[in-house]
């Protein structure tokens, strides 16, 4: 990504551009995971913009076997890890999912 100081008329970052993170990249992460899983079926560690338990489940449905969480810590603090687990448990209970293996890559089979 890149940003420009409009008053200084120059890039914000010394390198001119840098990494992009946060909730806004989740749709790109979901698409990349989906495409790679569909093409290869290989185990994937998905990451990118994860904020909630449903975000984790979404990446798993796209094909991620494991999900890295970084964005959430910035917004919800380290307590968010436990909260995400509770959110996932509640979703699984509501949807009748007994084992997370049931949802890995499920969206690629539609």
Residues near 105 by beta carbon (within 8 Å), at least 6 away in sequence: 37, 41, 61, 62, 63
**Phi and psi at residue 2, to the nearest 5°:** -150, 150
User: For residue 47, what is the enclosing H or E element?
Assistant: strand 44-47
| Sequential pLDDT tens for the chain (110 residues) | 899 999 999 999 999 998 888 999 999 999 999 999 999 999 999 999 999 999 999 999 999 999 999 989 999 999 999 999 999 999 999 999 999 999 999 999 98
Residue 33 CB-half CA count within 13 A: 31
With vertex at residue 25, the alpha carbon angle to CA 106 and CA 30, rounded to the nearest 5 degrees, is: 10
Dihedral angle over CA of 38, 85, 89, 26, nearest 10: -40
């Amino acid at each position: 990504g890149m940003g420009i100081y409009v008053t200084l008329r120059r890039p914000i970052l010394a390198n001119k551009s840098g990494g992009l993170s946060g909730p806004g990249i989740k749709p790109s992460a979901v698409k990349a995971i989906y495409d790679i899983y569909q093409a290869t079926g290989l185990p994937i560690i998905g990451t990118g913009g994860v904020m909630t338990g449903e975000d984790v489940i979404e990446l798993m449905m796209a094909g991620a076997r494991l999900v890295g969480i970084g964005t959430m810590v910035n917004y919800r603090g380290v307590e968010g890890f436990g909260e995400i687990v509770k959110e996932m448990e509640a979703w699984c209970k509501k949807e009748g999912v007994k084992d997370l293996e049931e949802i890995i890559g499920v969206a690629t089979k539609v």
